[in-house]
Structures are given as C-alpha cells and as structure tokens.
C-alpha cells in the first residue's frame, strides 16, 4: 500500500473545519480511530472538501472491545456510519489487546475487506512475534503497521520488519508530544536548515525507508508547516546527531 509521507493524525481534532483545511493544504491521508471519538468530525471534513473521495486515504482503527470475531463487522459498520463513508481505505487493529484473538479477529477482518467495507487491513502497536502470527493468519498482506516512532523512541525491529516485508511503517507522535520544540539537538539542526524543530523531527522519521508520518495539528500554520516538512532533506551528520540523542521516552507504553 502506498501512503504519502505526511498524513494527518486526528486524535484530539474536534472541528471538521480542521479536516477540510488539511485537505486544502494537500493532506491526502487522514487517520482516525473509534477511541478518538471524532470519526463523525473527520467524515464531515471529508464531505465538505472539494477533493474527490478516491483521492483520499481514510484510515480507521477498531478499538479493543470491537475485536471479537462477531464484533468486527458491526464495529466497522458503526465507524463507517459515523464517517459517512461506504468503505475505509485502511482498517487497523488498534492494539492487540482486549478481545483480540488472531485466529478469530483476523479472519473477520479479511471478511470485512472481502465485503468491500475496507480496502486494506493494517495493524497497530504490534510486537514482532504478533506481526509474524498475523501474517500467517491473514489472507491479504499486512498493508501498514502504525507505531510510535520519533527521535526519543522507535523499535528498530519493527522498522526492519516493515522494510523486509515492504509495507509502510506509519509513525504516530513524530513530534514527541510537543517535546520536539524544546530539544536542543533538534533546535540546533533546525537553525542550520532555517526551519522548525518539528520539521526536523518529521524529516528524521522520513529519512528511514518505508516510514511515513501522521503528525497532529489543528492550526493552519502548523498544518502547513508539518506538511511542508516532507520536502526537508537532512544531511547525514544531522541524522547521526539525532540518532545519538541519549533519551528514551515512550509516550504510549502498554
């Protein structure tokens, strides 16, 4: 599955106008989830946009209480109703927790895809062994894997898996929950390139093969700045400096 380098993470977005503005800026990948409680907001923004539906990739995620085999299709249909769509382009298992059972959940997701309610099936927050098992059970290839990935945290084994099997690793929280703005290394590299630390953090993520990003933003200025970061190319020494940051912070641990 091809995904653009910078999409929009919508957690916390409560205004359909933000979605419409993002599409106007150029975003074509919109990521939401049942647990964000804003699928209707995303759907309203998509409906208000002048961009054709087929030009957009809308991704949704089933929460842990919608992963029992008998709940996958009703949960998907409920998300589609809130989104106002006939199908999503990418449907994730949000976390392999709660009612998740690979032998039951994943065939139900295959059935949802075969019924035309989702075009691709993705996974989110999986561990390597869980990815391997999912590949064994799913009829279709894993279309994408969404994980936390930023200069303070990133599982290199998961990155290697995405590169080996050639699917997008979708990096959420690429701005480190806002800490990117205050990091001295990111700030120094940003000054060198006459840009922002946020742009540097996004560009660092994109410097890895198979990685795409979904930074959150709501203001017009931040929407435009994050989207423009896809054009920033860091020098090898910049990447080395960022790789060497001696701080580990996982924002969303299990």
Q: What is the pLDDT of residue 246?
A: 77
Encode pLDDT of 158-196 as tens digits: 999 999 999 999 999 999 999 999 999 999 999 999 999
Q: Are residues 175 and 8 in contact, defined by beta-carbon separation less than 8 angstroms?
A: no
User: What is the mean predicted confidence (pLDDT) over 108-136?
Assistant: 99
Contacts of 10 (CB under 8 A, 6+ apart): 19, 30, 31, 32, 36, 38, 41, 42, 216
167 classed as catalytic: no
Torsional class of 194: left (φ above 0), alpha (ψ -120 to 50), beta (otherwise): left
User: What is the mean predicted confidence (pLDDT) over 135-148?
Assistant: 97
pLDDT band at 103 (very low <50, low <70, confident <90, very high): very high
DSSP track, the chain: ----SB-EE-TT---HHHHHHHHHHT--EEE--GGGT-HHHHHHHHHH-SS-GGG-EEEEEE-GGG-SHHHHHHHHHHHHHHHT-S-BSEEEES-S-TT--HHHHHHHHHHHHHTTSBS-EEEES--HHHHHHHHHH-SSPP--EEEE-BTTB--HHHHHHHHHHT--EEEE-TTGGGGGGG-HHHHHHHHHHTS-HHHHHHHHHHTSTTEEE--B--SHHHHHHHHHGGG----HHHHHHHHT------SS--
Encode pLDDT of 212-234 as tens digits: 999 999 999 999 999 999 999 99
Please report the sign of the dihedral spanned by the C-alpha atoms of residue 105, residue 110, residue 114, residue 118: positive
Neighbours of 114 (CB within 10 A): 11
Q: Are residues 127 and 148 in contact, defined by beta-carbon separation less than 8 angstroms?
A: no
Q: What is the mean pLDDT of the chain?
A: 97
Question: Is 153 a residue whose pLDDT tops 90?
Answer: yes
Q: What is the pLDDT of residue 252?
A: 85
CA distance 45 to 43: 5
**Homologous superfamily of 8-182+206-232:** NADP-dependent oxidoreductase domain (3.20.20.100)
Please state the domain extents for the chain: 8-182+206-232
Give the active site residue among 36, 92, 152, 167: 36
Q: What is the pLDDT of residue 61?
A: 99
CA distance 251 to 188: 23
């Amino acid at each position: 599955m091809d995904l653009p380098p910078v999409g929009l993470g919508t957690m916390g977005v409560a205004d359909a106008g933000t979605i419409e503005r993002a599409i106007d800026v150029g975003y074509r990948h919109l990521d939401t989830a049942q647990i964000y409680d804003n699928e209707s907001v995303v759907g309203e923004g998509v409906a208000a946009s002048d961009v054709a539906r087929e030009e957009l990739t809308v991704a949704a995620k089933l929460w842990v209480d919608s992963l029992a085999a008998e709940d996958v299709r009703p949960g998907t249909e409920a998300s589609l109703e809130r989104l106002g769509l006939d199908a999503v382009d990418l449907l994730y298992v949000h976390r392999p927790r709660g009612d998740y059972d690979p032998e039951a959940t994943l065939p139900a997701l295959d059935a949802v895809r075969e019924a035309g309610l989702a075009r691709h099936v993705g996974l989110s927050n999986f561990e390597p062994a869980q990815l391997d098992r999912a590949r064994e059970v799913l009829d279709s290839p894993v279309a994408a894997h969404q994980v936390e990935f930023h200069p303070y945290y990133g599982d290199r084994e998961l990155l290697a898996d995405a590169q080996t099997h050639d699917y997008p690793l979708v990096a959420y929280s690429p701005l480190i929950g806002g800490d990117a703005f205050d990091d001295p290394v990111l700030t120094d590299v940003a000054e060198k390139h006459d840009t922002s630390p946020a742009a540097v953090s996004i560009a660092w993520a994109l410097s890895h093969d198979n990685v795409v990003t979904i930074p959150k933003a709501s203001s017009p200025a931040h929407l435009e700045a994050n989207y423009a970061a896809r054009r920033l190319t860091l020098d090898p020494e910049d990447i080395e400096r960022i790789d060497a940051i001696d701080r580990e912070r996982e924002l969303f641990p299990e």
